Amino acid sequence: MVDITHKTHTLRIATAQALVLVSKPETIEAIENRKVPKGDVFEMAKAAGLLAVKKTPDLLPDCHPLPIEYTGINYRIEGLTIVIEMTVKTIYKTGVEVEAMHGASVVALTMYDMLKPIDKGVEIQRIRLLEKKGGKSDRKSTPA
């Protein structure tokens, strides 16, 4: 694990994106109308994602535990794709990009698990960092 004892506290923000692709319009309708038998997909996946962001250092060996000071989730539907954007903030010595990516991945997996009974063709298509601020290297991904 990288030594960060000498680093200073700054505001760090990261946004990660995960894409969940379903196989038919009926799946999207069931989500929007809250008709998925396991429950409200957006709300339950949000709860799972909020918890997962905090568990990142329990799962990734080199990841520093840090004070998560904000987690927000944004959903957007584009055709058969659900766009998940997970933003995490901290004031600490190291960034939160892996936390944001881990949170986004668990939101996507929770959706997969909840939708499995009604759609056998769900796939997680890409998990990537959209933007990070603070630290040495600010970065904004080009649209894709």
Least distance (Å) between residue 143 CB and a copy of itself = 14
Q: Closest Cα partner for 3 from 59, 62, 52?
A: 62
Positions in 22-61 near a copy of itself (CB under 8 A): 38-40, 43-44, 46-48, 50-52, 54-55, 57-61
Which residue among the candidates 3, 58, 62, 113 is catalytic per the annotation?
Answer: 113
- Cβ burial 19-33 (10 Å sphere, 16+ → b, else e): bbebeeeebbebbee
Identified binder of a copy of itself from the candidate list 75, 80, 81, 109, rule CB under 8 A? 109
- Where would I find the beta strands (DSSP E) of 43-116? 70-78, 81-92
Identified binder of a copy of itself from the candidate list 24, 65, 76, 77, rule CB under 8 A? 65
Active site residue 113: yes
How many residues make up the chain in this entry?
144
Identified binder of a copy of itself from the candidate list 75, 80, 81, 93, rule CB under 8 A? 93
